[in-house]
Amino acid sequence: MNFLRWVLVFVLGGAAAFSFLSYTGMGIAAGDLVGVSGRATDVATMQDRAGYWLLTFVPVQLVLILVLYGTLSFAEDASAVSRAFGRGIVAALLSAPVTFVSGVAMFAILRFPLHFGSHIR
């Protein structure tokens, strides 16, 4: 059961990383088109979609923190308040590296065929 929770943690980390990378990519694309004549509608659409990706990232990251909170099992002998506070702080601090590692792994998997595809065939 604990293994499935950690798998869920990294799947949620991948979803959060994808959402954040999509938010960043849309923002970069919109910023690149600012000032180009005739592209004002495209800029507005990209900025709107970037906002949607950010609004997707935040709840996924919060669910990741909640799943991490339930997965952690330390301070069993502490009081309920201190245990909840300690686990919550550690879960919030661990959610960023989990998202980062999941994003790097996802980016590396997507870039693998571009670098090594010709050597595999």
Mean pLDDT per segment of 10 residues, for the chain of length 121 residues?
88 93 92 87 91 95 93 82 90 94 87 68 58
pTM reported for the whole predicted model: 0.81
pLDDT at 54: 94
Residue indicated by tokens 């996924």: 60
- What is the DSSP annotation of 24-80? HHHHHHHHHHTT-TT-HHHHHHHHHHHHHHHHHHHHHHHHHHHHHHHH----TTS-H
Domain boundaries, the chain: 2-120
> Which residues lie below 8 Å from residue 73, measured CB to CB, with a gap of 6+?
none
